[in-house]
Structure 1
Amino acid sequence: MAPPPLVPAEHPSRLSAADLEEICAIIYKRSGMVFGETKRYYIERRVTDLIHQRKAQTVRNYISLLRSDMRESEILINSFTVNETYFYREQHQLACLSNSILPDIIRSKGPGDRIRIWSMPCSSGEEPYSIALWLLENWRLVDAYNIEIVGSDIDTAILQQAIEGYFGHRSLSRLPADILERYFEPEEDQQRRLISDLRESVIFAKGNIIDRQSLAALGLFDVIFCRNLLIYFDEAARETAARNLHGLLNPGGYICLGHTESMSRISETFEPVRFQDAIVYRETGTGEWMS
């Protein structure tokens, strides 16, 4: 019997220049992420998949759906977010948190007072859970204060994954063996699940860093980890994000950025602080959370 004929792989739907510009504008408006012609193939692959899933048949039908249905634009944004992360990433900043940032913050607090830490974007949960793990293991005053850790992301699907707390080898590869054994339970498919006490120690909530309204209910924080997000924004979106971050910090609060990012080039409402373990940024008390 002759083998069945080979079926060529389906090519991504070809976007006209106007289609590409319109889709990129929707992504930018909803998320602040900047895409363009240089990412055409990357965009076309994802749009093709979504057109087929929605049975939209044409690119124009799909764009009409994006404009009329906020949930559909949310699904589009989810498909473009980058969720590469792992436990204890940029560990020097975690050391800075326990060695320098928190000792400074508690000078104006008493035992039992609340300390709020925000991880944005939190992706599948590795970063906020890392903060909880690190403080349990490395900050001797962890039980003397009411520490509240919040993880937020624009990607609603990845937030649900974070809540469930299952992780594979790649996410866990930087953790010491004793931490792995004490805080993670073996599961099927070589995965491990974070123990329930630690899963329950982090609150997860949807948030869009360029949308003030989506952040207002989160309250104020003493420390914000916002790492490797601003690099995807243009200047205008970075300035919007900086204003919103400033508006969410308590007076004198701190923000930790990725190693290639600098708040000094974006906003005058933060000042760099050089600690032994890391350079971070402190809220200066100037400016306001503008609409």
Structure 2
Amino acid sequence: MTMTHAPRAVINQITISNEEFAKFCEFFYRKTGINYHQSKKYYVDRRIIDRMNKTNSENFRDYFTFIRFQGSGEELQFLVNAMTVNETYFFREDYQFEALVKSMLPNLARTRRATKPIKIWSVPCSSGEEPYSIAINILEKWDQADQWDIEIYASDIDSKILAEARAGLFGARSLARVPPALLSRYFVSTGEGSYRICDELRGSIDFSLINIVDPMQTRKYTDIDIIFCRNLLIYFDDIARREAVEMFYETMSPGGYICLGHSESMSRMTSLFVPRKFGDTIVYQKPEE
């Protein structure tokens, strides 16, 4: 497709009709499972028009054709990166990390051989605060950590934020809840007001670009014992939520656990999982065979 190099002043005046917005939302939903309603039109329009400017698209029809048929899928990935929200920090909703080291991991350790690794999946992992928090909590608070092979996987649909996660560089906002002792133990100051997580932890996390609505991409995950999927499913509609949790169910080991965000409830999506209360949090368990 040939992209027309229209004058910038004209491009900035582009508007997206309600019909075009609906067409885009249906396409984006099929690709990502994320469902945007009319109330989000301003948010979505701004990001589409920004990408139209960057690709010198003359109108929505040209841009929509471009993202649908570009062989590499590069522009669709740029748009996905622009659309996704990445707001997180270390030890967020830390009561679930307490449940991880005090209940979930000890329960798993009691029912299996130490020769089988414990697999944990953080999705979406955003800029890495969650999977790194998982690793730090295990090292600091689970007294059996040295006795087990623990594999931590982290995935996101946003390629730009994954690059940041792999780099492991964090500012004051992300680190606000990290105690000074842990900051000195696991981070190195860059001298510019930010800190880089230690190489050992960076190398221990398997980061991958994954779209969870694409079965070809999620099939690499098998026998997962614990999933952290917090504040993702709120962006899905009922059908996409159900399909996502059924996919999680298939990837998990019997007796495995899944943690959702505090405003999410598995009971509204499926009856496949059993709710378990550990301390101040509720997690969901795949029944044991």
**TM-score bracket relative to the smaller structure:** over 0.9
Q: How does 1:133-212 map to 2 (within 5 A)?
A: 133-212=136-215
From 89, 107, 110, give the equivalent of 2:110: 107
1:130/1:136 Cα in 2 relative to 1: closer, same or farther (>3 Å)?
same
- Counterpart-to-counterpart distance in 1, 2:76 and 2:27: 8
- Counterpart-to-counterpart distance in 1, 2:47 and 2:106: 46
In structure 2, runs of 5+ residues without a counterpart are 1-8
Which residue does the alignment assign to 1:252?
255
Report the 3-state secondary structure (helix = DSSP H, G, I; strand = E; otherwise coil) of the residue aligned with 2:75.
helix
Q: How does 1:263-282 map to 2 (within 5 A)?
A: 263-282=266-285
| Deviation string, structure 1 residues 218-237 (Cα, Å, up to 9, x no partner) | 32210000000111111011
Which residue does the alignment assign to 1:16?
17
Which residue does the alignment assign to 2:31?
30
1:12/1:272 Cα in 2 relative to 1: closer, same or farther (>3 Å)?
farther
Which residue does the alignment assign to 1:243?
246
- Counterpart-to-counterpart distance in 1, 2:171 and 2:181: 17
Q: Using the TM superposition, give the Cα deviation of residue 23 of structure 1 relative to its aligned residue in structure 2, in angstroms.
A: 1.3
| Deviation string, structure 1 residues 105-145 (Cα, Å, up to 9, x no partner) | 11122334310000000001000000001111111111100
Report the 3-state secondary structure (helix = DSSP H, G, I; strand = E; otherwise coil) of the residue aligned with 1:182.
helix
1:65 to 2:38 alignment? no
Which residue does the alignment assign to 2:6?
none
Report the 3-state secondary structure (helix = DSSP H, G, I; strand = E; otherwise coil) of the residue aligned with 1:280.
strand
- Counterpart-to-counterpart distance in 1, 2:221 and 2:102: 26
Q: Using the TM superposition, give the Cα deviation of residue 13 of structure 1 relative to its aligned residue in structure 2, in angstroms.
A: 2.8
1:12/1:270 Cα in 2 relative to 1: closer, same or farther (>3 Å)?
farther
1:217 to 2:212 alignment? no
Aligned-pair Cα RMSD in Å: 1.6
Report the 3-state secondary structure (helix = DSSP H, G, I; strand = E; otherwise coil) of the residue aligned with 2:220.
helix
1:121 to 2:124 alignment? yes
| Deviation string, structure 1 residues 2-38 (Cα, Å, up to 9, x no partner) | xxxxxx9x96631011211111112111111111321
- Counterpart-to-counterpart distance in 1, 2:113 and 2:242: 34
- Counterpart-to-counterpart distance in 1, 2:246 and 2:214: 11
Which stretch shows the higher mean deviation, 268-277 or 142-151? Answer: 268-277
- Counterpart-to-counterpart distance in 2, 1:17 and 1:265: 31
Alpha carbons 2:12, 2:53 under 8 Å: kept: no
Report the 3-state secondary structure (helix = DSSP H, G, I; strand = E; otherwise coil) of the residue aligned with 2:219.
helix
| Deviation string, structure 1 residues 206-261 (Cα, Å, up to 9, x no partner) | 21222222100132210000000111111011011011110111011000000010
Which residue does the alignment assign to 2:81?
78
Report the 3-state secondary structure (helix = DSSP H, G, I; strand = E; otherwise coil) of the residue aligned with 1:218.
coil
Report the 3-state secondary structure (helix = DSSP H, G, I; strand = E; otherwise coil) of the residue aligned with 1:200.
helix
- Counterpart-to-counterpart distance in 2, 1:192 and 1:20: 41
Alpha carbons 1:225, 1:255 under 8 Å: kept: yes
Alpha carbons 2:266, 2:273 under 8 Å: kept: yes
Report the 3-state secondary structure (helix = DSSP H, G, I; strand = E; otherwise coil) of the residue aligned with 2:274.
strand
Report the 3-state secondary structure (helix = DSSP H, G, I; strand = E; otherwise coil) of the residue aligned with 2:262.
coil
Question: Which amino acid is the alignment partner of residue 258 of structure 1?
Answer: G
- Counterpart-to-counterpart distance in 1, 2:45 and 2:12: 9
**TM-score relative to the length of structure 2:** 0.92
- Counterpart-to-counterpart distance in 2, 1:61 and 1:11: 15
In structure 1, runs of 5+ residues without a counterpart are 1-7, 287-291
1:46 to 2:47 alignment? yes
Report the 3-state secondary structure (helix = DSSP H, G, I; strand = E; otherwise coil) of the residue aligned with 2:259.
strand
Alpha carbons 1:123, 1:162 under 8 Å: kept: yes
